[in-house]
Amino acid sequence: MFSDLQCTVTENLELKRLTTLGVGGPCKYCVTPNRLADLSEVYTRCLTEQLPVLIVGNGSNLLPDDKGYDGVVIHAGKRLKTFKIVDNIVYAEAGVPLPKLAFSMAREGRSGFEFMAGIPGTVGGAIVMNAGCLGHDTAEVLQSVTFLDERGLIQTRSKESLGFSFRESMLQRIPGLILSASFYAPLAEHPEEVMAKTRRAADIRKQKFPIQVATAGSTFKSPPEGPHPGRLIEEVGLKGFQIGSAQISPVHANWIINLGGATSSDVKALMEVMQNTVARKLGIVMEPEVLMV
Dihedral sign of CA atoms 205, 209, 212, 215 in order: negative
Task: Name every residue whose Cβ is closer than 8 Å to that of residue 141 and which is 6 or more positions away in sequence.
Answer: 112, 113, 183, 184, 185
Task: Name every residue whose Cβ is closer than 8 Å to that of residue 83 and which is 6 or more positions away in sequence.
Answer: 90, 91, 92, 93, 96, 101, 104
Q: Which member of 41, 79, 93, 167 is catalytic?
A: 167
Q: Which member of 41, 93, 114, 289 is catalytic?
A: 289
Q: Which member of 218, 222, 249, 264 is catalytic?
A: 218
Please give the Cα distance from 114 to 222 (Å, whole number): 20
- For residue 79, indicate whether it is catalytic: no
The C-alpha angle with vertex 177 and arms to 75 and 43, in degrees rounded to 5, equals 70
**What's the DSSP call for residue 244?**
T
- For residue 265, indicate whether it is catalytic: no
Give the helix ranges, DSSP H, for the chain: 36-48, 98-107, 123-129, 191-208, 229-235, 264-282
Please give the Cα distance from 288 to 29 (Å, whole number): 28
Please give the Cα distance from 262 to 268 (Å, whole number): 11
- For residue 249, indicate whether it is catalytic: no
Task: Name every residue whose Cβ is closer than 8 Å to that of residue 285 and which is 6 or more positions away in sequence.
Answer: 275, 278, 279
Of 89, 153, 158, 101, the residue nearest 125 (C-alpha): 101
Please give the Cα distance from 17 to 29 (Å, whole number): 13
Instruction: Find how far residue 270's CA is from the centre of its chain.
Output: 21
Q: Which residues are catalytic?
A: 167, 218, 289
